[in-house]
Amino acid sequence: MSVIPGIVAVNTFREAVRDRVLYNLIFFALLMMAAAVLVGGVSIGIERDVIVNLGLSAISLFGIVMAIFIGVGLVHKEIEKRTLYSLLAKPVQRWQFLVGKFAGLLLTLVVNTALMTVGLAAALFYVTRKFEGSDGTIAVAIYFILLEFAIITALALFFSCFSSPLLSTLFTLGIYVAGVFAPDIRDIGIVTSSSAVKAVAEGVYYILPNFHNFNLISAAAHKEAVPFSLIWQNTSYAALYVAVILIGASAVFSGRDLK
Amino acid sequence: MSSANKPRAVYFALLAIPVLMIGLVMLQRDLDTSLSMLPRDRPELLLRSGTTLKRLSLGYDPLLADIYWTRVVQYYGSRVGLPKATFNLLGPLLDITTTLDPKLMIAYRFGAIFLSEPGSAGAGRADLAVDLVKKGIAANPEDWRLYQDLGLIYSIHLKDYQKASEAYLQGSKIPQAPIYMKVLAAVVAQKGDEMETSKLIWGEVYATTQDKLVRQKALEHLQALDAELDLKRLNQGSEDYWRKFGRYPTTIQELRDAGLSGEKLQDPTGHPYVMGPNGVPQLDPQSPIVLDLDKKIR
């Protein structure tokens, strides 16, 4: 297995750190501290729920924003700075470059999320004064958020292979929003009497990345156990979906004339 | 990258993507099954203070009230009729909605009925309903319909006929109030515990409400009251039968043959009444009518 994607990934991660993208952690820390202090005053009896909901929502939101806005510039920036030409002049395949870029941004998101998780755990401990076994669902919820980031990063990278950063942002955001509402799109087919609409709705449901699968925030807040089958199914789903997008991105990028 | 690699990547994508998509569809089906096993119906109300929400709404409180009102309807609609349904958040949700928009009359009227309703039809919290309607009256003193709702809660659910009569009387003094408010005040004070009085109260709710759910609930009560009156009459016939023949009838037909059943042998939903043990007439088990447990036939 080639080490080239790994080298590209590490450089992408370093570049992200140099660009101070991890500064969002300061805002997250302030948010969690403020929430931990204020939560007792406004949400009697459900302080833990508020901290978990707020923390996981912030982790998800910050990560999605990072995945989209950094992801759409990954290829475009390299072309604009002309660094891509010198890179591809070396024995580097285009798919290796894409996989490396994807892994690099995902690594950035994992590090960012890990640090946010520490902040969430601290706020949770401040409020509840203890950790319980049922808090494990929070870890699963964070893992699912990371799977979500992987798909969004791959989507942003895919669009950045053939489109401008602005359009790529719109496309990625559009697919993300549609993916969140995937079950509602399927439900349109259920309530309609038209078999054609039903078939289209079902088709769209299966083609879109179903981000609803990964939403475990409420379950984490309510300390609900998550079946193991859901973990491996979601892992497989995210891996397959990322593979589909990256193969598509490689096909598009390999056919692109960079002259 | 050589040009020969370009079509190779495209061919690979054309082959691999459909195969992977089939895998994704199969996985999504498994995920749908797994997700359906998770309890998705979790009541949540993170911020319970309407006043705080009003401040946070930055002047968009009427819009937020509409959103909360929609939540009330969804919350109630998703639970009503379920065997072990609870409506713990109905009171707080209605309180927030009416704090955000104190003129949202539909919320007070909805709350008056469904906060009070016992069993699987409501929260069974007539006390909260009284508080909500009184809050509505304080914000909308010119609306007689809230006094009508207050009278209903006192007379039907709390059996406090004195307070119910006072509420109707108070409402009747508002210029636009219909004349029947005075009639209700008098009838409730004199014959509050009679079924005919309950019929009169629910009949006026049915006639005046704009809310479909409230209208349906009023209709259900009217049908139940009609059925209760029918069963009371049939039960009287059954007693007469015993006095005449020395035994209770085993079927409604026997009662009819003896000329003691009267004309109405079906409940308001069209299901025939049936004879239970010891000559006690009952509703057909298939009938959707739910009788008021407080009112015994015998």
Instruction: Identify the weakest region by mean pLDDT among A82-96, A228-242, B53-67, B224-238.
Output: B53-67
For residue range B81-136, list pLDDT tens digits in order. 777 778 888 898 999 889 888 888 889 999 888 899 887 788 889 999 999 999 99
pLDDT value, residue B297: 37
Interface contact B41, partner A, CB < 8 A: no
pLDDT value, residue B206: 86
Inter-chain touch B38–A233, beta carbons under 8 Å: no
pLDDT value, residue B82: 78
Q: pLDDT over 70 for what percent of chain A?
A: 95
What is the three-class DSSP state of B6? helix
* C-alpha closest to that of B261 among B284, B283, B231: B231
pLDDT-derived band of residue B4, with 50, 70 and 90 as boundaries?
low
pLDDT value, residue B298: 34
pLDDT value, residue B1: 47
pLDDT value, residue B153: 92
pLDDT at B44 over 60: no
pLDDT value, residue B23: 92
Q: pLDDT over 70 for what percent of chain B?
A: 91
- CA atoms of B13 and A1, how far apart (whole Å): 20
pLDDT value, residue A204: 92
pLDDT at B293 over 60: no
pLDDT value, residue B200: 80
pLDDT value, residue A41: 56
More confident residue, A91 or A235: A235
**Highest mean pLDDT, choosing among A169-178, A183-192, B239-248:** A169-178
pLDDT value, residue B45: 57
- If you average pLDDT over residues A14-34, what whole number do you get? 78
- If you average pLDDT over residues A6-16, what whole number do you get? 86
Instruction: Identify the weakest region by mean pLDDT among A36-50, A208-222, B274-288.
Output: A36-50
Query: Which chain A residues have any C-beta within 8 angstroms of a chain B C-beta?
Result: 42-44, 46, 49-50, 53, 88, 93-95, 205-207, 210, 212-213, 218-219, 221-222, 224, 226-227, 229-230, 233-234, 236-237, 240-241, 243-244, 247-248, 250-251, 254-255
For residue range B138-168, list pLDDT tens digits in order. 999 989 999 999 999 998 889 898 898 899 8
pLDDT value, residue A24: 76
Q: What is the distance in angstroms between the Cα of A225 and the nearest Cα belonging to chain B? A: 9
Instruction: Give long-range contacts, CB 8 A cutoff, 24+ apart: B122-129.
Output: B122/B80, B122/B87, B122/B90, B123/B86, B123/B87, B123/B88, B123/B90, B123/B91, B124/B87, B125/B91, B126/B153, B126/B157, B126/B158, B128/B91, B129/B153, B129/B157
pLDDT-derived band of residue A129, with 50, 70 and 90 as boundaries?
confident
Q: What is the distance in angstroms between the Cα of A107 and the nearest Cα belonging to chain B? A: 24
Q: For the whole prediction, is pTM greater than 0.90?
A: no
Inter-chain touch B28–A218, beta carbons under 8 Å: no
What is the pLDDT of chain B when averaged over all its residues? Answer: 82
- If you average pLDDT over residues B60-66, what whole number do you get? 76
The residue of chain B nearest to residue A47, with distances taken between CA atoms, is B46
- If you average pLDDT over residues B40-57, what whole number do you get? 64
Interface contact B23, partner A, CB < 8 A: yes
pLDDT at A227 over 50: yes
Pick the CATH number of B50-218 from 3.30.70, 1.10.3470, 1.10.287, 1.25.40: 1.25.40
Which burial class, exposed, middle or buried, applies to B125 when counting CB atoms under 10 A from its CB (0-12, 13-18, 19+)? buried
pLDDT-derived band of residue B296, with 50, 70 and 90 as boundaries?
very low
Q: What is the distance in angstroms between the Cα of B55 and the nearest Cα belonging to chain A? A: 13
**Highest mean pLDDT, choosing among A89-93, A133-137, B210-214:** A133-137
pLDDT at A232 over 90: yes
3-class secondary structure for chain A?
CCCHHHHHHHHHHHHHHHCCHHHHHHHHHHHHHHHHHHHHHHCCCCHHHHHHHHHHHHHHHHHHHHHHHHHCCHHHHHHHCCHHHHHHHCCCCHHHHHHHHHHHHHHHHHHHHHHHHHHHHHHHHHHHCCCCHHHHHHHHHHHHHHHHHHHHHHHHHHHHCCCCHHHHHHHHHHHHHHHHCHHHHHHHHHHCCCHHHHHHHHHHHHHCCCHHHHCCHHHHHCCCCCCHHHHHHHHHHHHHHHHHHHHHHHHHHHCCCCC
- Rounded to whole angstroms, the maximal C-alpha distance in chain B is 108
pLDDT value, residue A173: 94
Q: pLDDT over 90 for what percent of chain A?
A: 37
pLDDT value, residue A75: 87
